Amino acid sequence: MQKLPETLRENVRMLGDLLGENLLEHQGPKLFRKVEEIRAFSKQLAKSDRSSDAHKEAVESLLESLSQVEDADILPIARAFNQFLNLANIADQHYFYSSEAREEDALDEILENLADAKGKDDLYKLVNELNIELVLTAHPTEVTRRTLIRKYEQVAKALSDLRRNDLLDYEVAQIKESLQRYIEEIWHTNEIRTTRPTAVDEAKWGFAVIENSLWHAVPDFIRHLDSVCRRRLGKPLPLGITPFRFYSWMGGDRDGNPNVTHKVTEQVLLMGRWRAADLYIKDINEVAGDLSMHAASHELLELVGEDSATPYRDLLHGLRNRLQATLNWAEARMNDPMLPEPANIIHSRNELLQPLMLCYESLHELGLSQIANGSLTDLIRRIHAFGINLVPLDIRQDGDRHVELLDELTIYLELGSYRSWDEEKRQAFLLEQLESKRPLLPEEWPVSEDSREVINTCRVIAAQPRETLAHYVISMAQQPSDVLAVALLLKECGVRWKMPIDPLFETLDDLDRAPRVMNALWQMHWYQRYIDGQQTVMIGYSDSAKDAGKFAATWAQYKAQEKLVSLADQHDVKLNLFHGRGGTVGRGGGPVEKAMASQPPGSVKARIRVTEQGEMIRYKFGMPRVAFASLSNYVLATLRATETPAPNPKPEWRELMENMAQASLTAYRGVVRGHESFVPYFRSLTPEQELSKLALGSRPPKRKASGGVESLRAIPWVFAWTQVRLNLPGWLGTRQALEYGLQNEQDTLKDMQQNWPFFNSFIDLLEMVLGKADTSICAHYEEQLVDKDLRPLGEQLRGDLEALAGLINTMKEQPELLENTPLLQQSINIRKPYMDPLNYLQAELLKRERKAGEISPDLERALKVTMTGIAAGMRNTG
């Protein structure tokens, strides 16, 4: 079996030792010895076979050791195991994104191979057409405090520094001293937020990711891509190439979040302009320092004066003044909404680019190309990527809010009840109003607070520079009228540009209905003029999986995309599919390469839009080197999916998938909706209710405060099952699907597994979900927390999971899960001895709190620490 690389082992061991030294110094030898004892028993448990007597003995020894812990020591012990898991993640992430862990430059290789197959000119054109849109969304699953994230980044940087070959002994000693200090700082920092972040706080966090990481990684990557293109395709890339654009939902996503108001959206937009201006001022100061030369083009000298000794600096001085004015105004406007705009502030990307391009062209004209291609080029590329507010904002709203507003309006105007009209009547009314030149909204009318908020949001959109906003996303879109309604409201509120409107199809029924809805829209003459041949459609992964189970939802998503691509081609519409993925497999997460390779053929076409959510933003983009590798992965995956897409599924594959999906859907809903014990079992087994103690994000965990499990958002739904290590949303119903295939069409199933990347990727991700699960841990929660009359359901679910693992092993002809991905298996094994004690502590603390009604503040904090620690160990939460 392939072993973990020694560099990774050494880093894990070193960080663990430093944490141990910190415990010994600050908590004393007694607690240090207890932690070591628990860790030793937990390691024995991890090494034992689950079905063996040795496993039972190891569990008993570990539980006995934990039972002897005094209440005063529970919190520091939980913190110790929590922090080790976070440090192990840093070592893991540092290694797998380092040059040692990566193969030779895959980007160079794929361009070489595609150039041979496609031709250099066509491939060059394709690279120029790359349009990868990454949408950073609010992070309700990011359990780690920002202050700790910064300290973890310092640890990662120190690990990188230690890899240098030119270090002197004293420099090594200094770095290790720094590591010891960082870990001491981490230990003495409260890992639990005391207050829930606001929507503005979330936006600040998103801006920080750009400033600290993507600001550096994007121009570095484009410079690398340009170098590879020069070498393999014989031509440099255009200066303004933008393979990546970044967008945000932070401060714009108001679906089910009453804390995101029009005032919050306006503040976040202003904050983006302020932060962008601040970053550009710093960059211009650097560029101006580089451009000290006195020779310049005639065109440039005409602007600054023929006698200027530093023409480039003089020109940039004017731009810097405009940026400073923008910064000052945006900062003041956040406190005074009525403050008028000065005449000289920046409103568009072109206003930033014009003087910089003049400098660039002047330098080239004078033969100073090396200087032009330095920091000036990086700044120009940043402006193309980040614009005037770093991340243009998407607005997301539930479609029913627009229906409610129009219902209030038509009743007030004595036109009848819009809500009660059928779809044909709604469309006729909306299209008539869209073509009309008369205003529809009265100046004053008795509109509800919720509907007034929708109107105010649209008016904020109308008042902002176009470049600061991106798309309007409609959650729970069901009919063409849902899209037309948004277009009408934007028009009535003064939006004079054609803001892209993205219907989001989420549930199983919505996905099935999506092609019919879009076909109807694309046949409307008014709508054809509105979209001008461009359409984005969002596919929801979270709610569809929660509604139908992972297997049925995945197949429904695939079919919907296929049909949408075909219809778009028929209507000559350039379709961009927007993938609403979460961090976990149960919410559409997984490696970028597998996700892109499994898309329906023709659905990528060099363009993709995808959400990056929760803690995955930090894992993928939190540090410049990591972000560089992630951007490279996206380009590689997009090029492959465009040029070498997966084959169309054979008719027999489709037929089998339909039957398997139906078997899975029936099994999934039979448990989640049909089993009378399911809801009480879920609520008693998992810490679903207690998760609200964690101040994770600004959005409430439920769409409706009074709703039950059906109203629970997909994130806490997944988070709760992850905590007890059952990972149910990622696999429930799949056993029945695979059993159907193996019993009825075994040869076809094998053919799919070997020759269809879509299905093969699904099985690989499913195997990873099961590899992270632990039925014995789940059984312990059940024993401690669940009434005996509910336990038969737990036995059924755990039996399902174990049977499913056996089916996957049979299909893959392997003795155990993850046999062919040993590094992943060992990475999980490294974490297991530190997660298991946290799970056992969590079960005990939940038991105590539920029995007594409350526990001491220290024990409640320990309970929260177990939640964040298990989340860190599982590497994702929701």
With 0-12 CB in 10 A as exposed, 13-18 as middle and 19+ as buried, what is 131?
middle
Distance CA 609, CA 249 (A): 13
Answer left, alpha or beta for residue 672, where phi above 0 means left and psi between -120 and 50 means alpha.
alpha
Q: Show Cβ contacts of residue 825 under 8 Å, excluding neighbours closer than 6 positions.
A: 771, 817, 818, 819
Distance CA 764, CA 776 (A): 23
Q: Show Cβ contacts of residue 249 under 8 Å, excluding neighbours closer than 6 positions.
A: 135, 136, 137, 138, 393, 394, 396, 611
Q: Please list, residue by residue across 151-169, b when 16 or more beta carbons sit within 10 angstroms of its beta carbon and e when fewer do.
A: bbbbbbbbbeebeeeeeee
Contact present, 473 and 505 (Cβ < 8 Å) = no
Q: Output the six-digit token pair for 102.
A: 């990566």
Query: Which residues on neighbouring strands pair with residue 131, listed in sequence order?
Result: 607
CA 474 to chain centre: 19
Residue 393 DSSP one-character state? E
Query: What phi and psi, each to the nearest 5 degrees, are found at residue 104?
Result: -55, 160
Distance CA 644, CA 656 (A): 25
- Within 28-144, residue ranges assigned H as helices are 29-47, 53-67, 71-96, 106-118, 120-129
Distance CA 447, CA 409 (A): 8
Distance CA 361, CA 367 (A): 10
Contact present, 541 and 506 (Cβ < 8 Å) = no
Query: What phi and psi, each to the nearest 5 degrees, are found at residue 275?
Result: -65, -40
Contact present, 807 and 740 (Cβ < 8 Å) = no
Is 139 tagged catalytic? Answer: yes
CA angle, 610 then 455 then 138, to 5°: 30
Distance CA 795, CA 789 (A): 12
- Within 673-711, residue ranges assigned H as helices are 678-685
Contact present, 274 and 330 (Cβ < 8 Å) = yes
In the set 34, 151, 546, 832, the catalytic residue is 546
- Give the CA radius of gyration of the chain: 28
In the set 34, 94, 139, 780, the catalytic residue is 139
Length of the chain in residues, anyone?
A: 878
Distance CA 656, CA 748 (A): 8
Alpha carbon distances (Å) from 533 to 25, 180, 432, 485: 66, 58, 22, 20
For residue 745, give the 3-state DSSP assignment. Answer: coil
Distance CA 654, CA 661 (A): 10
Q: Which of 485, 516, 495 is CA-nearest to residue 397? A: 485
Distance CA 848, CA 438 (A): 65
For residue 132, give the 3-state DSSP assignment. Answer: strand
Q: Which amino acid is residue 754, in one-letter code?
A: Q
For residue 73, give the 3-state DSSP assignment. Answer: helix
Distance CA 550, CA 588 (A): 9
Distance CA 516, CA 454 (A): 27
With 0-12 CB in 10 A as exposed, 13-18 as middle and 19+ as buried, what is 311?
buried
Is 579 tagged catalytic? Answer: no
Residue 474 half-sphere exposure toward CB, CA atoms < 13 A: 28
For residue 438, give the 3-state DSSP assignment. Answer: coil
- Catalytic residue numbers? 139, 546
